[in-house]
Structure 1
């Protein structure tokens, strides 16, 4: 009920409220999924999967807007209806059923002249980072009251005509470093690639990027990012990552985006001891969360060694020994009997020579683990040589003492 009170007169009016209308509705009841697909030209598509929300799209005073936050200020521009050559599921003058609309297309040439500058600013922000806070808003009048349906657009991905995003990709959060790997090359002709990674959840947000030569990116089996800080605020069960790859020549040629569940690595640190005839890998495990992961308690893995400026992988060991993540420390020694290839001795000697060049390293890879290692120790002798050298040294000393005594006599 309500009561009206007039100050200048002693008059009060009471009445009953017949209905209540929410003027701002949560869009999660309207869409099961929503993403913005960015093409890198002058347009993008908003792809949606409608739910049982049903605003009156045929109403003359119904309009759809894209809104974004710029320096704390909400800015928005209207999404035009498609007029000709429209797709069957596209927002258009002829398609008025909300349940059937699965695509909203935005082209710079069709944006209202008064809103072109807002579109340009948003497009520039989106080009540099996918973290722009964005919303899809539907306004409509109902019983003379304006209602808004608001839905955040979290996923902002690139169109993928070459199906690069269908490839297997792994992102691993190891201590203060993020390791990133793609299992197959993408058929793109370019000189350089800009790699942008975003980690986010409800209460955590981190992004960084780097530009590499395409040759170095592929030959190194991926790349790593150093993270300033820890993941203490990142709840792993709700964390997501986004990898955006921009292939560049003189201009941006092609880009694609990956968005998936994020995961923390179970290797806290490691060190590889290089000998002339073998390698020994020492692993320190993350005990807390990893000791409770059933599929990580015992895991076999591969160790790939790389050298030089291009970080070329020169050898790979298939380690059959299982690493139990309930143990804080594990040591595994690798000899030529588990080497994948036919030039093990030459590879070990070559790697041994390059250990202290500051460019060589190793990769630990399994179905659940991906880790870049840079801590290398160059051992002067292997265990067998050390033992034999010790015996040899004792013999030399004994002979020397014998000669000295003989000379004196």
Structure 2
């Protein structure tokens, strides 16, 4: 299946590969995009025949599913996008490098804080949230450029962090006003009262009257501050435990992460505000997916959203896997004192994340060597163990790097047979 654009770049219904080959051979069309393969007509069309197409989006904070189907359940487009979750770590690393350099080379300068306009701007989103929201919007805009979309449906989810921490609030709404530590000055007082002011290891045999609250899983190891990870110990046992003289047989609890749930609440609001998409919910998608016997994948969830319960028919067995990457590399030098410059521009005509073809297979450039060799990777970022190491002279660049790297794969046949 080939996507078709008019002479003025308006999307039409896709055509078969045979018709596209004939149009290209006769010079009536030209190749507009390789992945997904799209052609543009060279002549003006008087009538533009289009059908009602629905674009279904399975939102997420890590992966996004996208699918397009018509009213009969014919699936015309399928993709999965992996969103960036490395922005926070990279910004912390850059901050560490800046602080190190400032202390080494510019200690005479007066310290300046809150001098960045974006960091003190009101109603702003963090760089991570901005990237994730833009990734959803970019995919919705891209699909509209290759297919005549008439309806957009977004599967969203509203998470309540209080319910995730304490499910009992669903049956007792008064617990919303009474938190987990209601009735106690703090969690420490609650733990002491729970343990009846008694050491839980020696049971009072040490005669030490000074009691302390101990983290079963240390905070340095990701231990939680909740009461399930706290224990009352006397000072004698507490000191002996930290010196390795005694060992507890209790199980603690690690700190829970609700970052993704909080992010999804913001993503939902922004998508509905910035687009004309309709909203659906996860339990409806799950019901439709199970009725059609599709496996649990993000792109199959999007199919269930787009078909609205109609049994899908896959007109194409190709799926696009996309991964968001950084638009450029901030690090320009390496070494303890930044004495070695990193080549930022093209090296032998190639840049990092360029899509290349080597021995009939398509890869992405992971690293470059000034000696004329390259390290290749797949769409997941895994290094491809090729021997001998590929040379630039033996590979061909398919497409230049962008903020998304894309590769096309085939859906396993047993997935399609299930429907």
Give TM-score, length-normalised by structure 2. 0.18
Which structure's relative contact order is higher, taking Cα pairs within 8 Å and 6+ residues apart?
2
Task: Give the number of the structure whose residues are more often strand, by fraction.
Answer: 1
Task: Give the number of the structure whose residues are more often helix, by fraction.
Answer: 2
Indicate the structure (1 or 2) with the bigger Cα radius of gyration: 1
Give TM-score, length-normalised by structure 1. 0.18
